[in-house]
């Protein structure tokens, strides 16, 4: 029987997130993570067999965390809350928001780990299903307009600010709501 793990998967992922924010995609190496956590780099391989698996897991965790509020708002038929989820989440979780909005998964992971294939398919299906469900409950609304109002506009509104390292200013919320109402 081996020793109990000193660090949870989330602690390792949190350290990887810190390094990613500080140094970019090259930052979270196993050596740097080991130094950050005070753990031998080799011990990290017991939890994540490769750097790609570690960063892919971080990316999936971040996407899932973001999607929860967006999907909940659409499921509750609150399209404005869905649209406002992006800037609000970005203000509450600036480091994770930076990962999602500034890096594509291909920027982080050279080869997507096969063991996360289902997770990747799920995080692609979840928001699509929420959008489709909303459309089914609101006949007459088209998918392009809905996606523009609750995905494209909020994404565009926060990207410039996150790219410069600033949180999205609160006045963006009013602009997003105004745009959402005008479109829908």
Residue 88: pLDDT over 80: yes
Task: Give the fold, CATH level 3, of 1-48.
Answer: Arc Repressor Mutant, subunit A (1.10.10)
Query: Mean pLDDT across the stretch 70-79?
Result: 98
pLDDT of residue 4: 58
Res. 54 pLDDT band, cuts 50 70 90: very high
Domain boundaries, the chain: 1-48, 51-183
pTM of the model: 0.90
Residue 80: pLDDT over 70: yes
Instruction: Choose the weakest-confidence range: 81-95, 109-123, 145-159.
Output: 109-123
Query: Mean pLDDT across the stretch 164-172?
Result: 93
Residue 56: pLDDT over 90: yes
pLDDT of residue 3: 60
Count Cβ atoms below 10 Å from residue 40 Cβ, excluding itself.
Answer: 12
Cβ contact 28:16 at 8 Å: yes
Res. 71 pLDDT band, cuts 50 70 90: very high
> DSSP per residue over 21-88, as a string?
HHH-TTS--HHHHHHHHTS-HHHHTTT-SSHHHHHHHHHHHHHHHHHHHHHHHHHTT-HHHHHHHHHH
Res. 1 pLDDT band, cuts 50 70 90: very low
Q: Which residue has the tokens 């780099």?
A: 41
Residue 5: pLDDT over 70: no
Per residue in 33-49, pLDDT tens? 999 999 887 778 888 98
pLDDT of residue 105: 84
Average pLDDT of every residue of the chain: 92
């Amino acid at each position: 029987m081996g020793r109990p793990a000193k660090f949870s998967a989330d602690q390792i992922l949190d350290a990887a997130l810190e390094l990613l924010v500080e140094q970019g995609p090259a930052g979270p190496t196993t050596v740097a993570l080991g130094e950050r956590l005070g753990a031998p780099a080799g011990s990290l391989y017991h939890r994540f067999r490769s750097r790609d698996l570690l960063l892919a897991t971080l990316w999936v965790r971040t996407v899932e965390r973001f999607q929860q509020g967006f999907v909940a708002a659409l499921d509750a038929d609150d399209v404005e809350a869905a649209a406002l989820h992006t800037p609000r989440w970005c203000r509450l979780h600036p480091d994770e928001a930076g990962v999602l909005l500034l890096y594509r998964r291909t920027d982080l992971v050279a080869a997507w780990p096969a063991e996360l294939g289902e997770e990747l398919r799920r995080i692609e299906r979840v928001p699509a299903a929420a959008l489709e469900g909303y459309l089914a409950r609101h006949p007459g609304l088209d998918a392009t307009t809905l996606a523009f109002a609750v995905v494209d506009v909020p994404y565009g509104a926060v990207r410039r600010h996150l790219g410069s390292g600033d949180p999205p200013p609160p006045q963006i919320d009013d602009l997003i709501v105004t745009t959402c109402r005008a479109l829908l």
